[in-house]
Amino acid sequence: MRFCLIAFAIGLAASSPAADAPPRVSPEPTPVLVELFTSEGCSSCPPADRLLESLAREQPLPGVEILVIGEHVDYWDSHGWKDPFSDPAFTKRQRWYSMHWPLRVYTPQAVIDGVSERLGSNREKLLKAVARAAKRPKAEIALQAEATPQGKVRLSVEIRNLTRTGTSTADVYAAIVADGVESDVASGENRGRKLRHWAAARRLTLLGKARSKKDLAEITGEIEAIPANVQGNSRLIVFAQSKKNRRIVAAVTAPYPRAGIARSLE
């Protein structure tokens, strides 16, 4: 397994004097998770969707890996357009966050590493919050994923040094996201527009609880696969979140394993 935040270098001896010097190893970037609560029914959301893609593709902060998830809420679905990516589970998650900051359920809302929120279209404030989050200690996380013939994705997760983040237990979530997906909006506030989304969440599943034993936490489980015809540019994002303060203490992304059989989206 490859652990996020750990870099190893193996050098072969060379004939020059510099070969005696120890190899220089560049640290891997610190992951910071940005969750964008958005909707195709909201006319203020397309700029935030574009910003989310820009942050993911450009990675503008040195030493930081910005991982993003677009979570489409369903409370806009009754305003003239049903968002095909909406899910009540994302609305529930946003409301869970909102208990920690008053009067803060809106779109587009970006939640940074679980502990702060910003207007999802404000690049400057978002990047400042991401930079601040990157200074907090993170655990190392490794992920293995494989498709099963039964239409599942089997995940094996290892988390090291969890306790240095201030917690010995964390909820582990697995998200399936799709990059570059588009919609032709036929009604509602964005009527007539073609909208593009990056890291649009297709599923977000609580995989289980990681408990650190001798600074190693291991968890395995299965999640429902997505249909083969919508797999497209799909990826996995797995992250660990402390329940006591909501902080994302580890996060990693990996390619989506192609399934032989997949069940329909609900």
For residue 17, with 0-12 CB atoms within 10 Å meaning exposed, 13-18 middle and 19 or more buried, which class applies? exposed
**Residue 242: DSSP 8-state:** -
Position 75 scores a pLDDT of 97
Q: Which residue has the tokens 């089997």?
A: 154
Position 215 scores a pLDDT of 86
Position 27 scores a pLDDT of 63
Position 129 scores a pLDDT of 98
Q: Give the separation between CA 24 and CA 101, rounded to whole angstroms.
A: 44
Position 132 scores a pLDDT of 98
Q: Give the separation between CA 4 and CA 88, rounded to whole angstroms.
A: 31
**Could you give the domains of the chain?**
30-255 (3.40.30.10)
Q: Give the separation between CA 181 and CA 197, rounded to whole angstroms.
A: 5
Give, for all 266 residues of the chain, the pLDDT tens digit. Answer: 434 332 322 233 333 334 444 444 446 899 999 999 999 999 999 999 999 999 999 999 999 999 999 999 999 999 999 999 999 999 999 999 998 876 689 999 999 999 999 999 999 999 999 999 999 999 999 999 999 988 899 999 999 999 999 999 999 999 999 999 999 999 999 999 999 999 999 999 999 999 988 889 999 999 998 876 665 689 999 999 998 899 999 999 999 997 543 333 44
For residue 86, with 0-12 CB atoms within 10 Å meaning exposed, 13-18 middle and 19 or more buried, which class applies? buried
The residues facing 145 across adjacent strands are 155
Task: Look at strands 216-224 and 152-160 and give their pairing.
Answer: antiparallel
